Structure 1
Amino acid sequence: MRTLSGYILTNILGWKIKGEFPVLKKSVVIFAPHTSYWDGFYGKLYLMQLGINYKFLSKKEFFKFPLKYFFQIFGSIPVDNTKEYIDYVAGLFNNSTELHIVLSPEGHLAKVTRWKKGYYYMANRANVPIIVGYIDYRKKEIGIKKVICNPTDISIVRKEIAELYSDVCAKYPENFSHELKV
């Protein structure tokens, strides 16, 4: 069924949707590259048309008046970079019948040489798969690259994810390193 957000994304804005979102009740969804606030806009349109229960992880600094109301409506929850936060997210999964946690593993818009590892630890602790989503501005594509069903070895997962993003073009390519240590 086509939704208004899907119509806007594909017909008005000219984007293509690639890959099927898997039939899963729970997952950690990573979206990269993240070099622009537009990524969140396109990602929101994409996720809205899927009809899944999701929450975005956003910087806790955004949750101050008046922006906090926008981010709450947007479906965001604030990130706290502590080890206890991993347990908090695992608890969200345990207390939900359906939930997809969406995040950008880069952690911010500026160029990084190493991704944060929270996405891996959240998936592992909650025993849920990692869905590798992407947004490619050169091809005007947004979608899913792969599902990593059993993320038990971080070094294998990181290598596989780096290979999946090797041909993806960010809005600001100078801020996305293909030699990234994910």
Structure 2
Amino acid sequence: MHRTIFTTPGVSLLLRGFSLAWLKLAGWTVSGELPPEARKSVFIAAPHTSNWDLPYTLFAAFALRLTPYWMGKASIFRWPFGGLMRFLGGIPVDRSKSNNLVAASATALQAADGPVQLIVPPEGTRSKTVYWKTGFYWIAVTAQLPIVMAYMDYPRKLAGLGPLFTPTGDVDTDMAEIKRFYAQFKGKNSAQFTHE
């Protein structure tokens, strides 16, 4: 995995302090702790309904001492911001091409030397969508890693790490259980998020 703002020693310490101060001033509460068995894991990032989700996710990641990488649409990685997005932990995803993203992501997670958490928004877009994409699920299954149910609730200004979820391979049953957990949370644009 490439070097990021989270793995650059002096910078990460400074930005953790800044993130904690910003979240406190903005009235946000960040809770949870990454269990040792989830040092390598796949994170669900939901609800995902706004561009504001990225900065708040980064602030929360610093507060929680995570080592995250996140998937984003390829267009935000174009010049002049591509280098910055990658330094922030971004991995571009080209939705127009058919590629084996699940296998490549699982291999990268397994090969990583240290802790790494791959953040994947199940909606795949900030727009309203009825069906969640299952890429995050199959990455976890293929890499044999747990899923961390991370959340962000804008009305209550809460962000954090929910329980670990171990996929069984029964995707329909597992997705129904995961969506039940997320029913309690609302995104910034809450009308665009569905857990059904």
1:92-103 residue pairs with structure 2 within 5 A? 92-97=108-113, 98-103=115-120
**Aligned letter for 2:27?**
G
1:3-152 residue pairs with structure 2 within 5 A? 3-9=17-23, 11-23=24-36, 24-81=38-95, 82-97=98-113, 98-152=115-169
Which deviates further from its counterpart, 18-27 or 155-164?
18-27
CA distance in 2, matches of 1:178, 1:117: 13
1:70-120 superposed Cα distances (whole Å, 9 cap, x missing partner): 211211011245451111101111211321101211111100000111001
What number of residue pairs does the alignment pair up? 178
Q: Secondary structure at the match of 2:35?
A: coil
**Aligned letter for 1:15?**
W
1:130 touches 1:151 (CA, 8 Å); kept in 2? no
What is aligned with 1:161?
178
Which runs of 5 or more structure 1 residues have no equivalent in the other structure?
A: none
CA distance in 2, matches of 1:88, 1:178: 28
User: TM-score of the superposition, structure 2-length normalised?
Assistant: 0.84
**Aligned letter for 2:144?**
N
CA distance in 2, matches of 1:122, 1:32: 17
**Aligned letter for 1:159?**
A
User: TM-score of the superposition, structure 1-length normalised?
Assistant: 0.90
Which runs of 5 or more structure 2 residues have no equivalent in the other structure?
A: 1-12
Cα gap change, 1:117 to 1:178, in 2 (>3 Å): closer
Root mean square deviation of aligned Cα: 1.7
CA distance in 1, matches of 2:155, 2:65: 27
1:137 touches 1:169 (CA, 8 Å); kept in 2? yes
1:129-178 superposed Cα distances (whole Å, 9 cap, x missing partner): 01011100111100122110244221122011110011111111111123
CA distance in 1, matches of 2:59, 2:148: 17
2:128 touches 2:191 (CA, 8 Å); kept in 1? yes
1:10-59 superposed Cα distances (whole Å, 9 cap, x missing partner): x1111011332322221000111111011111000011223332211111
